Structures are given as structure tokens and as C-alpha cells.
Structure 1
Amino acid sequence: MALSPEAARAYELDRKHVFHSWSAQATLTPTVLTSAEGCYVTDGEGNRLLDFSSMLVNTNIGHQHPKVVAAIAEQAAKLCTVAPHFANEARSEAARLIAERTPGDLDTIFFTNGGADAIEHAVRMARLHTGRYKVLSRYRSYHGGTETAVNVTGDPRRWANDHGNTGTVHFFGPFLYRSEFHSVDEAQETERALAHLARTIELEGPSTIAAIVLESVPGTAGIMVPTPEYMQGVRELCDRHGIVFIADEVMAGFGRTGKWFAIEHFDVVPDLITFAKGVNSGYVPLGGVAISAEIAATFADRVYPGGLTYSGHPLATAAAVATINAMADEGIVENAADIGERVLGPGLRELASRHPSVGEVRGLGMFWALELVREQATKEPLAPYGGTSPAMGELVAACRAGGLLPFVNFNRLHAVPPCVLTESEAKEGLAILDQALTVADAYTS
């Protein structure tokens, strides 16, 4: 099927004028999307695709939720923009609703334009609060594309931007399937990963470390759900050495894991939480930092040296208010937990039992990853770390041909649909994946 005239025009102008992120520009053939609703998008050829990517794992409330669309329009008619040093209703209410849901005393909210600058400001706050500079984060992580955030990141997107002068240090986190510690079970992996982190802190010098930054559940890096004991151990190490614990909830927050914040799974309260994406499903760019009482007090009489023109933009925060209220009223967080536990998780594990290309299934809520391998015994990945392969390209094409928009990274296929996914939609997605995985199976030995 050919592109519609409107879609063809959009594609032509894109290829002529648009510079895309994380891409070699000459190799791109971007899909044109023309509309979306709920868990589905429509492309420029008129194909309706089940969105198992949530775009970039951000449309937690689904596409074009009428209450959020209406809230943006209503706010635009009243006050489109306002400088951040003024108070306004949308920002104040959004801050209240977020603070109601954060754990512990993280009741002060600094708004940013997205997740990367939320990390930038969280790190800046930690450095100023402690008077230290180093920041520790794990390999196999992603924290954003701006200067500090990309250096905190622990995946290959850091490499071209890493000059070794940003005060960031990486360590191995727990990941039993590809354990760096030769562990045989989760308890051993937890114990050895914590010992490794403790040793890293000791050798780097506790008095030099401002913060440890961890995705509560790593997202793009592979959805490796840590044990509660690991996260509690990190909290204890931070407390012992006066280190700020920053929980990155940009991808995992606002219902994605079946709770408002993924950190709730571990009975841990961090010092700072970064958020974005699901706070308003990306309808208007928004991110932020939830700040503990102790760190907020640091800046009670001391100027915080940072800000953004669009901090708490009224269109974005009005969208956040409508999103959070709709998620609460419609039980969307509970739906993510229920469908994930009862349908999506069991369904993915059942696929793994029949497809030799699936080495492991990991996740919770609407946050799942399939580790794809050439051989289950050796765990040889279907694509190299930091790259792709013909097998993964064919798998993506098979998903698209079947009517599913997937999310892939390296050798993994992620199942990360909107949190409003229904049981029937989950089963539809699983059926498409079942067929598509036969393509990957052909590359196994």
C-alpha cells in the first residue's frame, strides 16, 4: 500500500529537513504516523498497529485520552505560557498530585522539560547538598542524552560523549541472566552485587561521592528487576556514607510497573526521584525532580543555581493534572498490575517455553523484556551489545507485518504497551509476537 499524499509530503519534508536523534541520517526511512487512539497508531499507508512500544515507553495513559486532550485545550484558552517565577494553578496542582504519590517526604517538586534535564538537576542538587562531585551509576543503564546525563548513562550511547572528565563512575548492578559475579541464584547475585558496590565506594573514596543514581527498574537497558534486598542495601550504603540516593523513575514511574513509582516495590525511600514520560504520557514535554525535605532545606536560604524558561509550563502541567486524575479515577495503575500479572507476563513466559530464540523473560506490570538468543545454553545474543543484526531487523519487520509496533534494543524485544491495555489487546499482541518469533527462531542453533 502506498503512502497517502499527506503522508508522502510529510516523509519528503522529513528527509529533506529533519535531523533525527541517535541516527546516521542517510540510513533512515522513518515511518509516518498520522493518528493514534488508545493502544493503537495508524501509519501513512493506513495500517492500524497495536502499540507495544508506548512510543518511547511514555504513553502510559494511551494515545489521545479525551480528558487530557480537553485539559490541554482548556488551559491553552486560559493561559498558554507563564514565566517560571510566577505561581500558577496548573503547576501548583500538578506538584500537589505528584507529592501525594511520592514515597516518604519527597514533597517538593522541581519541574523540568524532560527526563535528561531532570537527571542534570538531580545531580546538581546532590553535588551542592553534599559538597562532593563524583556520581556512581550502573553499567546497563540509560539516564538521558544531555552532558551529565549521558555520562551517567551506562550503555554504548555514552561512548562517543565520554571524555572521562565528568566525575562519573560505573559499577555492575545485579543481572542474574548475564551475571558478572558468577552467581547461581538471585540471593547470591544480590549479595555479590552489593559487595561489589561497597568495594567500589571504598576504593573511589566515600567522601568524594555525591550520589548514586539508579533506575528503580532499568528500562532501555533490559528491564532487570532488582530484588528488594538489593535496593535496600543500596539505601544502607548511601546512609552509611552520606551519599544521596537518586532513583531514576523517568521510564518506570507513573504506573508502568503496576505502582505509581517502581521504587515502591522495594520498600525504599530515595532522596531524590527523577520523573518524566508517564507523568503526562508525553502529551506535552514535562519532567521533574521530587526532592526530600532534607535536600529542599539546603536551598531554603541558599540560592539554587539552576532553572528553565519552561519549568512547570502550564500546558504540560495541566496535562499532568488531567493524566494523574484520570489514572486514579480509571484504575489505570491497577490495570497495569493486573494485566501484567494475569495476562501479559504469563503469556510471554508461555511464548518463551515454545520459542528457542527466547532466552529469558523479565518484567512486571506493563514493563517486560524478552532476551533473544542464538542458543539458550550459551546465551549468545541475537544481536551484539550496542548493535543490531539482520535477525532483529527481520523480527521487527515481522511484528509490523502482523500489526504490532515493537520496541527493540540490541538483542531484546520489549513488551511495553500503554497501561490501559485490555486483556483482549494483550492477547492480540501475544498472538502477533508468537508468529513473529518464528523468524527469530530460524536464527537459532
Structure 2
Amino acid sequence: MEQTLSNKAELIELDKKHFLHPTSSIQAQQKTGAPLVFTEGNGIYLKDMEGDMYIDGMSSLWNVNIGHGRKELAEVAAEQMNKLAFSSTFSGFSHEPAIRLAKKLADLAPGNLNVSFFTSGGSEANDSAIKLVRHYWKVKGFPERKKVITRKRGYHGVSMGSTSATGIPEFHAMTTSLAPDFLYAPTPYIVEGEFTEEDLMKAAQEVRKMIESEGPETIAAFMAEPIQGAGGIIVPPEKYFEEIRNICDEYGVLFIADEVITGFGRTGKMFGLEHWDVVPDVMTIAKGISSGYVPLGAVMINDEIHRELIKYSKGTLFHGFTYSGHPVGCAVALKNIELIEEERLIENAAEMGQELEKGLKYLEEKHWSVGRVRNVGLLGAFELLADRDKNTRFDATQGVAGKVVQECLKRNLIVRSVTYEGTDIIAIAPPLSITKEEIKDIISIFDDAVSAVETTLK
């Protein structure tokens, strides 16, 4: 143990000097070092260098859908590396894993989303979707159709285009320039005060007003997550996406669904929009496609868009990444999807989602500060409120959600908070392999953590 701790101290110092962490506090890293250094994973658990086990309540970054430590994916990766570690897909070259995965995705996707463009992850997928729809309109003779409507509190990634599509101001403030021609419609969520389902549905009509105000002839696409993840697990009203689909059809606007978080079983269905029987024109996927074992993402387009691109595109499509259709990534994704299907993890996500719902409602009944509980499958959240009857927020300086997250971490549960616009939201998204007993363990930790924080509030 002494040698391990010595090694940990060395690693933390090296981490401070040489590793600039994504979406982290640079100052905190230099002051306290990495809070945890993980060495192993198994199922829903992660083990750190001191041998302590933690429940990975967020599937790391919403992506380890099949759970940690699956040797089957390591074996497939090694087999593919030994056979064909890498081969370019530029200039029309191809290989079997990419072809097989593209066909499998076509079989799984709703409607006629039958064509895939591969990327290394979600940010690249969303960037590519934006470029492809603008290219689509340009080659068809409508270059003025370039504006993309997204939503406030929406998260689509951190590359230039996807950052610009993201509707969270903190991500915009980080940079000195953003891509032009992005518009941010309201999302069906009200931060504070009383509201009804009808109030939430007004967000859809705001999209219509925005299209009419800007001019339909200037709008390329509307882009949205079925359930907003980083924005706070915002679940839309029942008729919201049906209305959005109708609005897009009325004005000839393409509908891009960002299924990066909600895809591959997270919500108890293969893709999130299936809960509302709505089919997008373009769909972006990543995260759960490989359960995080290798970086991989894709843009899926429907047959109509594909036919038009074939008809009107001239010469080379000047867009692509070195690792588009990486053979190892595609092979691992195929095996990952096979395991999701064989082990009925989507069905398990739906069943365990019911258990999570029961647990969240228990927290709401027991704790005066817990309200607005919600989940779809294994994507859930609860909010911390000063007065939940009036939907009144705590003062942001109290940092209530952050305190609950820290109390959970003390009890070896990793979850995350969402505090944009003064909200205190706790998000939960465990691996789809989770059991009923493990759900109970999570709820028990939440119970203790909220109790600990509530004693400091009143």
C-alpha cells in the first residue's frame, strides 16, 4: 500500500505539471491535484489507487452503457488490431468493420436513417451534421439556408461548430469567437416559479416564431437532444417533439436529433426520440455506440438526403477525419451493440428505470428540499429547492447541489450537478447493467447525502 500511495503522489505531481484537464478547474488542479486516480473498473464500479470502490453513477460521461471491465470488447479490439489496426476510408477506400457497422446502424435506426458518416466522437458528429446539412442546401441551390436553430441549455459539444450550437453561455464565454448563424430557442423548462404543461409547450411555438422572423428560406435545420443531458435532464412535454416535427415539415427545415447521450439504450429504448414516435432527418450518435471503450461517433442521414447528395454533389466531399470509420472502433462498436442486444440491456434500462423512479419519488417524499424528480429509463435527476411548492431556488452562493455531490462522493458515489441559471440539479445515469440492489444503494447514499446538507440549510 505504501508503494501505491507513493506512486499516487508522484502521479498527482506529474498530472499537475503535464495534464491540462477538460472541463475542469485549472486552479483547483494545481491546488489540490486530481481528487481521484482510478485504476480499474468492473460493472458499475470504479477502483482508485488506494483500493476504494466507487459507484459510477454517471457511467463516467453518460457513455459506459454496458459497464466497466468487459473483456469481450478488449478481445475484439486486440483481434482487429492484429488483423487490420488502421486503414483510411478517404478516396472511397473501405474495410469490413465500417461497412458492417454502417449496415447494423441502418437496421437499428428509426425510419429511413440508413447512411452513416463516422467520426471520433459526439462533438465531431454534431459539427459534421451542421456542415453536412449546410452542404446539402448549398448543392441544391439554396446557400442562404445556413442558420441552425438550437435550444437554450442544450449541449452539443466543444468543437467550434458544436460549441456554437450549444445553448449554455458558460461554454461561449470560454472562447473569443463563435461560428455565426446559430439561434437559440427556449427549451421546455422553467427555472423558477409555477408552470403548467401548456406553459412548457410554448417553447415549441417559439421555434415557429423564430423561423418566421428569420425567414424560412434562411433556416437549414433545427437541432435538439431528445432529453437535454448537461442542461439538467430536461424531459419535454408529451407532444413537444411531435409539434417540432410538424413545424420543421411545414417550413422545409431539417430536424437534427442529437442522440449522443440518449442513444443505445440509455432511456429504455434504442434511441430517445422513439419515446415520442418521431423520426428526425439527421441523427448524431456517439458515447453508448462503443460504451466508451474506444472513441467513436457518427452522423446518420436519411435516404432522401443521401439521394440528393448523390444527385447534386460534384467532385470530392471535402470533409473527413483521419479516424472516420476506424476499423478497431467499428469492430468494438459492433461487439458492444451485440452485447446490448444479447444481454437485453435496453429492457433492463427500462425496468431499472422504474426502480430509479420509485427511489427518486421516495427522496421527494422524505426530504423537504427535493422536488421535480424525473427520469426516462436510466437518465434521471432531482432538484434541490428552497420551497418546492412554489418552485423557489436557493441562493446560488449557497452551492447546495455542489454540496450534495460532495457528500455523495464521501460515500463513494459519483454523480454530477447542473447549476446553470441558478438551478440545483443532481443528475444520475448509471450503466445499463445496474441491478435493483445497486439502485437501492444509490438511493440510500442520496438519502444520507441530502440529509447531511439539509441540516446545514435550516
Same fold per TM (> 0.5)? yes
Does structure 1 residue 402 correspond to structure 2 residue 411? yes
Amino acid paired to 1:39 = I
Deviation at 1:128, TM superposition (A): 1.7
Deviation at 1:419, TM superposition (A): 0.6
Does structure 1 residue 169 correspond to structure 2 residue 176? no
Unpaired runs of 5+ in structure 1?
A: none
Q: Could you say which residue in structure 2 is the equivalent of 1:106?
A: 113
Q: After TM superposition, where is structure 1 displaced by more than 4 Å over at least 4 residues in a row? A: 162-165, 176-179
Mapping 1:26-175, distance limit 5 Å: 26-28=27-29, 29-30=33-34, 31-85=36-90, 86-130=93-137, 131=143, 132-155=145-168, 156-161=170-175, 163=177, 166-175=180-189
8 Å Cα contact 2:360/2:374 also seen in 1:
no
Matched residue SS, 1:50: strand
Does structure 1 residue 373 correspond to structure 2 residue 373? no
Identity of aligned residues (%): 36
Does structure 1 residue 437 correspond to structure 2 residue 447? no
Matched residue SS, 2:385: strand
Deviation at 1:109, TM superposition (A): 0.6
In structure 2, how many angstroms separate the alpha carbons of the residues matched to 1:383 and 1:404?
25
Q: Could you say which residue in structure 2 is the equivalent of 1:304?
A: 317
Amino acid paired to 1:6 = N
8 Å Cα contact 1:150/1:161 also seen in 2:
no
Does structure 1 residue 272 correspond to structure 2 residue 282? yes
In structure 2, how many angstroms separate the alpha carbons of the residues matched to 1:145 and 1:382?
30
Deviation at 1:443, TM superposition (A): 4.7
Q: Could you say which residue in structure 2 is the equivalent of 1:294?
A: 304
Query: TM-score with structure 2 length normalisation?
Result: 0.91
In structure 2, how many angstroms separate the alpha carbons of the residues matched to 1:360 and 1:442?
21
Amino acid paired to 2:5 = S
Deviation at 1:370, TM superposition (A): 1.2
Matched residue SS, 1:315: helix
Matched residue SS, 2:280: coil
Query: TM-score with structure 1 length normalisation?
Result: 0.93
Deviations 1:271-293 (A, max 9, x none): 00001000011111001101111
Deviation at 1:300, TM superposition (A): 1.5
Deviation at 1:91, TM superposition (A): 1.2
8 Å Cα contact 1:34/1:42 also seen in 2:
yes
Tell me how many residue pairs correspond in the alignment: 437
Does structure 1 residue 414 correspond to structure 2 residue 427? yes
Q: Could you say which residue in structure 1 is the equivalent of 2:252?
A: 242
8 Å Cα contact 1:151/1:161 also seen in 2:
no
In structure 1, how many angstroms separate the alpha carbons of the residues matched to 2:60 and 2:175?
25
Amino acid paired to 2:261 = M
8 Å Cα contact 2:226/2:273 also seen in 1:
yes
Q: Select the residue among 189, 203, 209 that pairs with 2:200.
A: 189
Amino acid paired to 1:127 = R
Amino acid paired to 1:11 = I
Amino acid paired to 1:9 = E
Amino acid paired to 1:227 = P
Q: Could you say which residue in structure 1 is the equivalent of 2:366?
A: 354
Matched residue SS, 1:111: strand
In structure 2, how many angstroms separate the alpha carbons of the residues matched to 1:44 and 1:158?
36
In structure 2, how many angstroms separate the alpha carbons of the residues matched to 1:236 and 1:188?
19
Distance 1:233 1:35, change over 3 A: same
Deviation at 1:296, TM superposition (A): 1.3
Unpaired runs of 5+ in structure 2?
A: 138-142
In structure 2, how many angstroms separate the alpha carbons of the residues matched to 1:133 and 1:404?
44
8 Å Cα contact 2:163/2:178 also seen in 1:
no
Q: Could you say which residue in structure 2 is the equivalent of 1:200?
A: 210
Q: Could you say which residue in structure 1 is the equivalent of 2:21?
A: 20
Distance 1:81 1:5, change over 3 A: farther
The more displaced of 311-320 and 221-230 is 221-230
In structure 1, how many angstroms separate the alpha carbons of the residues matched to 2:403 and 2:188?
31
In structure 2, how many angstroms separate the alpha carbons of the residues matched to 1:63 and 1:257?
19
Distance 1:162 1:253, change over 3 A: farther
Matched residue SS, 1:297: helix
8 Å Cα contact 2:192/2:393 also seen in 1:
no
8 Å Cα contact 1:91/1:314 also seen in 2:
yes
Deviation at 1:297, TM superposition (A): 1.8
Deviation at 1:67, TM superposition (A): 1.7
Distance 1:171 1:162, change over 3 A: farther
Q: Could you say which residue in structure 1 is the equivalent of 2:6?
A: 5
Deviations 1:192-218 (A, max 9, x none): 222222111111111111010000111
In structure 1, how many angstroms separate the alpha carbons of the residues matched to 2:417 and 2:101?
32
Q: Select the residue among 336, 344, 347 that pairs with 1:323.
A: 336
Deviation at 1:404, TM superposition (A): 1.1
Amino acid paired to 1:56 = L
Matched residue SS, 2:239: helix
Deviations 1:243-270 (A, max 9, x none): 1100000011111000110010111110
